[in-house]
Amino acid sequence: MSVVLEKKATPIRNPFEVAQRQFDIAADALQLEEGIRIKLRVPRRCLTVSVPFELDDGSWRVVQGHRVQHDVSRGPAKGGIRFHPQVTLDEVKALAAWMTWKCGVVNLPYGGAKGGIEVDPKALSMHELERMTRRYTNEIAIIIGPEKDIPAPDVYTDAQVMAWIMDTFTMRQGFASPGVVTGKPISLGGSLGRREATARGCTCAIEEACKHLGLQLQGMTVAIQGYGNAGSIAHDLLHARGAKVVAVSDSRGGIHSARGLDPKAVQAHKQNAGSVVGAPGTDRISNDELLELKVDILIPAALENQITEENAPRIRPKILAEAANGPTTPDADPILHENGVFLIPDILANAGGVTVSYFEWVQDLANYFWTEDEVNQKLETIMRRSFADVVSIAEKNHVHNRTAAYMLGIGRVAEATRLRGLYG
Ligand code: NAD
């Protein structure tokens, strides 16, 4: 008698392979025709540049940067720029593809792009960071612009970095071009509400999930991994709505308090100490332990590949809201689904950022600026509508929410691609 050993497939960790796997699952569910499928699986354009810049001691350094445009069928490419030592071209390709589907989910007239520099920005002085950002902008200036491709902040980039990009691009043009980036300082044509938009959109999606599941957000326990733009502001907003955030973390580790964490106190501690770790009245936990805490709502708001087939069986929040891009691998998805975790997938949960980036761009092009209330109301309308769209596709097609969100986003991009046809 021969025993056939089932060979376990190697788990996928490369972010671009993850993105392609997620795409394939939704493309199958949509019964997408072969031509559209092979076109949308790959990015349209990848630009890798060497970025030489001068260090403060007068020596020179060269780092590698990327800008990837995944698809521009529905409008200019849109997506953030990340400065991180683990940036790779494949990561940027994945992030660009996710931007395409995200803009499709919330129905913005954009395609997807992303940029990144393989560098540890924490090891650079402000002046070094500025010189590197300006040189990178100069190198990718051939493909960006208000009608072509509009960058924004992402991990370890912020409004100041966007100001340098805007200024560098503007100096090359010879006239002010604020629409080349979003997430800028307000005084340079930024939008009110943009800084809070990713967390506000995520909070809004969580409120919709609570309504859908018949739960009360007030009093629910929350854990947040990552304490930057998305994570720390989500702490503020959820705390203000009466939820109890019991654990948060950053790259140095996490903290826990069963009584709940006050956002003001944690943010003040991070400001002074450089990390949430050590905030008074809290216990230290690891990032891995945070993910497995018994909480009602879990918000990954840091990097990719945090929830895998290894830890997924022990991750059982009522709601998993992916503020980060790509925090869950395709092998973890069915485990979470089987365990009854209600997933708000990244391309829906964090779409508030690109939505208000779109509002910022519209305001820049019109030279007419909106109040914060107008911005927030328009954002909430889009988030609530998109949540309802995703849940209705999931129910109609008996698929989980990630596949439903992909079906919505890919479906819109596929339609545009079909109508435009192949050029040449
Ligand atoms: P950020 O740079 O403001 O913050 C990143 C946070 O993650 C920091 O607190 C950092 O310490 C923490 N971190 C880094 N490595 C970590 C690790 N290994 N474990 C735990 N924490 C770690 O970045 P951000 O803009 O808040 O982005 C966070 C996530 O949200 C990313 O996946 C990003 O793509 C996504 N996102 C951001 C926006 C936006 O508008 N900023 C929009 C959509 C999606």
pLDDT in tens, 183-240: 999 999 999 999 999 999 999 999 999 999 999 999 999 999 999 999 999 999 999 9
**Cα–Cα distance measured from residue 255 to residue 223, given in angstroms and rounded to the nearest whole number:** 10
Q: Are residues 251 and 303 in the same domain?
A: yes
- Residue 194 alpha carbon, nearest atom of ligand 1: 40
Q: Are residues 146 and 94 in the same domain?
A: yes
Whether the pLDDT of residue 8 is over 70: the answer is no
Question: Dihedral sign, CA of 347, 352, 358, 361?
Answer: negative
Spatial CA neighbour of 330 closest among 247, 402, 233: 402
pLDDT band per the 50, 70, 90 thresholds, residue 10: confident
Residue nearest to atom 42 of ligand 1 (CA): 353
State mean pLDDT over 122-143: 98
CA atoms within 13 A on the CB side of 225: 27
Whether the pLDDT of residue 5 is over 90: the answer is no
Q: Are 152 and 181 in contact (CB under 8 A)?
A: yes
Q: Are 205 and 182 in contact (CB under 8 A)?
A: no
Flag whether 264 is marked binding: no
Tokens for 394? 């999931």
Options 93, 114, 184, 270, the catalytic residue: 114
- Residue 152 alpha carbon, nearest atom of ligand 1: 40
State mean pLDDT over 118-135: 98
Spatial CA neighbour of 347 closest among 372, 361, 327, 333: 327
Whether the pLDDT of residue 3 is over 60: the answer is no
- Residue 346 alpha carbon, nearest atom of ligand 1: 44
Q: pTM of the prediction?
A: 0.97
**Cα–Cα distance measured from residue 278 to residue 91, given in angstroms and rounded to the nearest whole number:** 32
| Structural domain count, the chain | 2
Q: Among 78, 251, 289, 307, name the best residue to mutate to test ligand 1's pocket (greatest count of ligand atoms within 8 A of Cβ).
A: 251
Between the CA of 332 and the centroid of ligand 1 the distance, in Å, is: 21
Q: Are 115 and 80 in contact (CB under 8 A)?
A: yes
Residues in the chain: 424
Give the pLDDT of residue 87: 98
Write the secondary structure of the chain as one string of H (helix), E (strand) and C (coil). CCCCCCCCCCCCCCHHHHHHHHHHHHHHHHCCCHHHHHHHCCCCEEEEEEEEEECCCCCEEEEEEEEEEEECCCCCEEEEEEEECCCCHHHHHHHHHHHHHHHHHCCCCCEEEEEEEECCHHHCCHHHHHHHHHHHHHHHCCCCECCCEEEEECCCCCHHHHHHHHHHHHHHHCCCCHHHCCCCCHHHCCCCCHHHHHHHHHHHHHHHHHHHHCCCCCCCEEEEECCCHHHHHHHHHHHHCCCEEEEEEECCEEEECCCCCCHHHHHHHHHHHCCCCCCCCCEEECHHHHHCCCCCEEEECCCCCCECCCCHHHCCCCEEECCCCCCECCCCHHHHHHCCCEEECHHHHCHHHHHHHHHHHHHHHHCCCCCHHHHHHHHHHHHHHHHHHHHHHHHHHCCCHHHHHHHHHHHHHHHHHHHHCCCC
Residue 39 lies inside a defined structural domain of this protein? no
Residue 395 lies inside a defined structural domain of this protein? no
Q: Are residues 272 and 247 in the same domain?
A: yes
Location of structure tokens 């890798």: 48
Q: Are residues 141 and 241 in the same domain?
A: no
CATH of the domain at 345: 3.40.50.720
Q: Among 82, 235, 250, 307, name the best residue to mutate to test ligand 1's pocket (greatest count of ligand atoms within 8 A of Cβ).
A: 250
Whether the pLDDT of residue 291 is over 80: the answer is yes
> Cβ(301) to ligand 1 under 6 A?
yes
State mean pLDDT over 369-396: 98
State mean pLDDT over 157-166: 98
Whether the pLDDT of residue 392 is over 80: the answer is yes
Q: Are residues 238 and 276 in the same domain?
A: yes
Q: Are residues 145 and 227 in the same domain?
A: no
pLDDT in tens, 38-95: 999 999 999 999 999 999 999 999 999 999 999 999 999 999 999 999 999 999 999 9
Residue 122 lies inside a defined structural domain of this protein? yes
Q: Are residues 316 and 179 in the same domain?
A: no
Give the pLDDT of residue 91: 98
**Which range of residues forms the domain containing residue 49?**
44-188
114 catalytic residue (yes or no): yes
**Cα–Cα distance measured from residue 191 to residue 359, given in angstroms and rounded to the nearest whole number:** 7
Of 188, 212, 246, which marks where a domain is finished?
188
Q: Among 114, 155, 360, name the best residue to mutate to test ligand 1's pocket (greatest count of ligand atoms within 8 A of Cβ).
A: 155
- Residue 270 alpha carbon, nearest atom of ligand 1: 9
Residue nearest to atom 43 of ligand 1 (CA): 350
* 258, 261, 265, 271 alpha-carbon torsion, rounded to 10°: 110
Flag whether 229 is marked binding: yes
Of 326, 349, 372, which marks where a domain is finished?
349
Between the CA of 156 and the centroid of ligand 1 the distance, in Å, is: 7
> Cβ(228) to ligand 1 under 6 A?
yes
Residue 382 lies inside a defined structural domain of this protein? no
> Cβ(330) to ligand 1 under 6 A?
no
Q: Are residues 162 and 222 in the same domain?
A: no
Residue 201 lies inside a defined structural domain of this protein? yes
Q: Are 262 and 343 in contact (CB under 8 A)?
A: no
Q: Are 386 and 348 in contact (CB under 8 A)?
A: yes
pLDDT band per the 50, 70, 90 thresholds, residue 107: very high
Q: Are residues 252 and 287 in the same domain?
A: yes
Of 303, 330, 349, which marks where a domain is finished?
349
Give the pLDDT of residue 25: 97
Whether the pLDDT of residue 4 is over 90: the answer is no
Q: Are 335 and 311 in contact (CB under 8 A)?
A: no
Between the CA of 32 and the centroid of ligand 1 the distance, in Å, is: 33
Spatial CA neighbour of 104 closest among 399, 419, 420, 407: 407
